[in-house]
Amino acid sequence: MNEWIYVALFMIVGAIIPIGAIVAGFIFGPKKPNPIKQSTYECGIEPVGDVWVQFKAQYYIFALVFLVFDVEAVFLFPWAVKLGQLGLYAVVEGIVFISILIVGLVYTWRKGMLEWS
């Protein structure tokens, strides 16, 4: 039998429990909405302007660098599993693989993209 069934069951039960708790809160809690209560909470000060604040482009760069390393790590997992049984050449292959990416990190660093300005 497919072992992912268990994972699916964990997801179902893991969703049911918080839903149950939130529904219980909804049932037992009072419901008296008013415009002031519903307004955005900004420490008691009247909200000014649009919620849509523009974000730094830096966030995007960090996400991109993260994506590259994420994919790299995923490639390294099968390599790591077999490493103990393979010889030194597999280790060297992995080191070359990582070194190439470290070059990328150093390039990003030198261009000043890793600094939060």
Partner 1 sequence: MNFWTDPLKVAAEWLEGILTGWGMDAIFAHVLVVFLGVLLLITILMVLDIFLVWIERKVVSRFQDRIGPNRVGPYGLIQPFADIIKLIIKEDTTPDGADKVVYNLAPILSMMSVLIVWAVVPIAPVILGTDLNVGVLFLIAAGAIGTLSIIMAGWSSNNKFALIGGFRQVAMMVAFEIPMLTMLLIPTIFAGSMNMNAIIQAQGSIWYFFLSPLGTLIFLIAVIAELGRAPFDLAEGESELVAGYNTEYSGMKFGMFYAGELLHAMTFGGIWGILFFGGYRFFGLEQVSPFLAVLIFLAKALIGYWVIMWVKYTMMRIRIDQMLAFNWMFLTPLSFVLLMVTALANALLAGTSIWVYGIGMFASNIILGWVALEIVRSYSRKEREKLEGPRKVAEAHH
Partner 2 sequence: MTPEKIIFLIVAGATLASGLMVVTTRNLIHAALWLVATLFGVAAVFAILNAGFIAVVQIVVYVGAIAILFIFAVMLTRKDMRDSGPQHNKNWWAGALLAVMTFGGLVFLVQSWASLSKAAADIPSGFDAVSQLGNQLTSPNAYVLPFEVASVLLLAAMVGAVYVAFNRK
d(CA 62, CA 83): 30
Binding site partner of 84, from partner 2, partner 1, none, Cβ cut-off 5-8 A by kind: partner 1
Tokens 């069951």: give the residue.
9
| Cβ partners under 8 Å of residue 40, min gap 6 | 47, 51
Binding site partner of 36, from partner 2, partner 1, none, Cβ cut-off 5-8 A by kind: none
Is 57 within 8 Å of 112 (Cβ atoms)? no
Site residues (vs partner 2, CB under 8 A): 2-4, 7-8, 50, 52, 54-55, 57, 59-61, 63-68, 70-72, 74-75, 77-83, 86, 89-90, 93-94, 96-98, 100-101, 103-105, 107-108, 111, 113
